[in-house]
Structure 1
Amino acid sequence: MGILNGNPKHEPMHYGEVFTVWQGSAVAKGAVSCYQTYLNHAGDKDLKKVLEALIDQAKLEIKELDTLLTDNGIIPAPVMPERPLVKLEDIPAGARFSDPEIAAKIAADTSIGLVACSQAMGQSVRADIGALFAKYHLSKAALGFRILELTKEKGWLVPPPLQLIRPEV
């Protein structure tokens, strides 16, 4: 029988896994705080639904990653306080994030999250940790598609330079 060949939950985490799980939890906690703020600033109902889905996903990740950490004797990053609900009209115009700004930021965050999940999957020795990040990768890919469709539908997408004239073959 080889090393680390039993039940993954009984195997030790290596330092890379510890840091990646801890960092994933900390990033998700920051995302909840940030997206709750964006929710206060958002005016578009479809954008609010996507933000709520992102918050739900981040809260799931926090729960699962913090459980993994505490089960392995590691103290998770502290939870940030919940943001209070604020009426959009109470936020001064100059201090308000616009819907296109919010959409661009959550699209970038989701893209970065996909790369981070891929890296976590690649470095994981424990199959349960790799599978956990694979699950998050799939969720983020689906949310990223929703964000892309939303930005196209609302006219908020700022595409990179487009190749309008193609070279003849």
Structure 2
Amino acid sequence: MGILSGNPKDEPLHYGEVYDLWQFSMAAKGCISTYRALSHHAGDKDLKKSLNALIDQAELEVSECDNILLTNGIAPFPALPVRPEAKLEDIPIGARFTDPEIAARIAADTSLSMVSCSQIMGKCIREDVGALFGKYHATKAAIGLRILNMSKEKGWLVPPPLQIKRPELVEA
């Protein structure tokens, strides 16, 4: 039998796994707080559904990451205070985030979080932790695709410069 070849949940976490779990949980708690605030600014029902899906996913991530940390004797990042409810009409127009701004923000956040999941998977030596972040990556990819489709349908997507005419290659 090789080194660390028993039940992964009985194996120790290495320092990178501890930090990544702690950092990911902290970021997810920040997302929950931010996305709840942004949901008060959102007027579009599909955008609100996307925000709620991201909040639900972040809550799951917090629960699972914090559980692993606590099981291994590590104190997780503290929970942030719950934001009070607000109505869109009560937010002054100059202080309001627009639906296209919110959609762009959550699309970028989702993309960056998939990169984080990939990096964490690459560092893991515990299969259960690597699989957990593989699950998060797949879920975020599905949510990201829904956000992309929504942004296209609503006319919110601002594409980067497109290369329509390609330069001709000169052979030497």
| TM-score bucket of the superposed structures, by smaller chain | over 0.9
Matched residue of 2:43: which SS? Answer: coil
Q: Give the letter aligned to residue 33 of structure 1.
A: S
1:168 is displaced (CA, Å) by 6.6
* Partner residue, 1:102: 102
2:28 pairs with 1:8? no
Matched residue of 2:140: which SS? Answer: helix
2:11 pairs with 1:28? no
Matched residue of 2:4: which SS? Answer: coil
Identical aligned residues as a percent: 66
Q: Give the letter aligned to residue 117 of structure 1.
A: C
Q: Give the letter aligned to residue 150 of structure 2.
A: L
1:166 is displaced (CA, Å) by 3.9
Q: State how 1:6-155 maps to structure 2 within 5 Å.
A: 6-155=6-155
1:164 is displaced (CA, Å) by 1.9
Q: Give the letter aligned to residue 60 of structure 1.
A: L
1:167 is displaced (CA, Å) by 5.0
More divergent stretch after superposition (106-115 vs 77-86)? 77-86
Q: Deviations over 1:24-51 (max 9, x none)?
A: 1000000000000000000000000000
Q: Give the letter aligned to residue 92 of structure 1.
A: P
1:81 is displaced (CA, Å) by 1.2
Radius of gyration: which is bigger?
A: 2
Matched residue of 1:111: which SS? Answer: helix
Coordinate RMSD, CA, aligned: 1.0
User: 2:125, 2:65 → 1: CA distance?
Assistant: 16
Q: Give the letter aligned to residue 152 of structure 2.
A: K
Gaps of 5+ in 2: none
User: 1:71, 1:79 → 2: CA distance?
Assistant: 18
Matched residue of 1:4: which SS? Answer: coil
TM-score (norm 1): 0.98
TM-score (norm 2): 0.96
Gaps of 5+ in 1: none
Matched residue of 1:152: which SS? Answer: helix
